[in-house]
Amino acid sequence: WGWALLLAVTVPFVMLSTWSQGKLAAGLGMLLRRRLLAGALELPPHQINRDGIGQLLGRTIEADNLERLALGGGFVSALAVLELAFAAPVLVAGAGGWLHGGLLAVWLVLGGVLAARLSRGRARWTDQRLALTGLTVERIVGHRTRLAQEVPERWHDGEDEALSAYLDRSEQLDGRTLALLVVLPRGWLIAGLAALAPAFIGGADLVALSTGVGGVVLAWQSLTKLTGGLDQLATAFVAWRRVAPLFHAAAGVLPGGAQPVRRATAPENLVLAPSRAGEPVLEAVDVAYRHANRPADVLTGCSLVIRNGDQVLLQGPSGSGKSTFASLLTGMQTARRGLLLARGLDMSCLGETGWRARVSASPQFHENHVLTESFAFNLLMSRSWPARKEDMDEAEAICKELGLGPLLQRMPAGMYQIVGETGWQLSHGEKSRLFIARALLQRADVIILDESLAALDPENMAATLQCLRARAPALVMIAHP
């Protein structure tokens, strides 16, 4: 009757525990995904460019592991610790006495050592696995280029070495996993029963022997759960190292530092009063910048004053820091030292939206994008949407001045033609002029163009320059010598 009552009570409580665990895991998982998505949207562009598609894919995989394993491993480990807390008094009350209790404590310390050892091994294995994933993805993306530019003998350089290193790490990880998940709990079962041998031989009380055996079995089951939970937590901890930048970015902290992301404080669709002739609209004073994990500054002591009506040409060889300086002027990156002012105010006063209203840019081609939307939407991303008639008229006028009139005539829906990956395909030069038109339609005080004319033929380049001189209040052109 006692066992029947115990089972009758246990079943509904197990069902309730499982239901509560699932509901809590689903809720926490949803919150975690929202947080990581918010962090992904807050990552600075240079961080995304530096990571590459392979590392971004690895980070996505690890985010899934974190959600799935951290919650499950946490629940299992907490339940196992609770069971061990019950098992310890049972062991002490049994025939083994305090010897059994001390043996369990030693086994728990050994489990902690093996768990830490497994965590370090899994971290190294994960780094190796994600590096192999990144290498594979990057090679797939650049497959056609490699076929065209590399000799056949070098197509598979480094692949065997990477696979061999991954295999070695996998063998080491399997050994450490076996030690924690199999050897530790089964070793306890053998050691715990062996510790009862003196009491059994000495003819100890049957109830005390039964209590001792029950405590050993209960501790064995709890250790089995605990080791499985610790393995999941170790995997989740390794995943956290990859996902932490996204998590912190959602809180306004940039990856790798403690500088807050500057939030927008200016209202949307901000309209500025026209700047006066000769008025300084953008100033840089003793600006310095250093890339992450680099020993020296790539820019130092940079100063510049741009006034209303200025047209500035910035030239220099590749790698000299032209694009980096442009990203500082546009607020895409933060200077390590120095002062940047737009009409006498810095970004902490203006916010991101306020700064963008004063400084607009057309970055290098690989950092600009045509969204799968209408042509008008891609032009008027700085305006309200749906677009007003006057906005559409201005956008169409600028397009015609840039030589895009024939393109608008060819597209069946004109300004409302869907463009992008699955819509109307634009040529390299047409995309470049779309990006320039997008920057002009932002109505900023300063327009910064980074290699924006490189894809244009002489006729379209002349038309584009004429449009820029007429419409840009102040212009900065970045080009190779």
What is the per-residue pLDDT for 265?
A: 44
Grade residue 10 by pLDDT with cuts at 50, 70 and 90. Answer: confident
Distance CA 307, CA 372 (A): 36
Whether the bond into 386 is cis, omega within 30 of 0:
yes
232 closest CA partner among 105, 77, 387: 77
Encode pLDDT of 331-357 as tens digits.
Answer: 888 888 889 999 888 888 888 788 888
The answer on pLDDT for 176 being more than 60 is yes
Confidence of residue 439 (pLDDT cuts 50, 70, 90): very high
Highest mean pLDDT among 65-79, 147-161, 412-426, 432-446: 432-446
Structure tokens at 204: 């100890």
Per cent of the chain over pLDDT 70 is 85
CA distance 373 to 352: 24
Q: What mean pLDDT is reported for the chain?
A: 82
Q: How confident is the model at residue 285 (pLDDT cuts 50, 70, 90)?
A: very high
Backbone torsions φ then ψ of 203, nearest 5 degrees: 75, 45
pLDDT at position 39 is: 82
Reading phi first (left if > 0) and then psi (alpha if -120 to 50, else beta), residue 359 is in beta
Edge-first strand listing for the sheet containing 359-362: 311-315, 475-479, 446-450, 359-362
pLDDT value at residue 425: 82
What is the per-residue pLDDT for 144? 55
pTM higher than 0.95: no
Burial of 362: CB neighbours in 10 Å, binned 0-12, 13-18, 19+: buried
Q: What pLDDT score does 299 carry?
A: 86
Look at residue 305 and tell me whether its pLDDT is greater than 90: yes
pLDDT tens sequence across 86-123: 888 888 888 778 888 888 889 999 988 998 898 888 88
Q: What is the mean pLDDT of residues 127-147?
A: 68
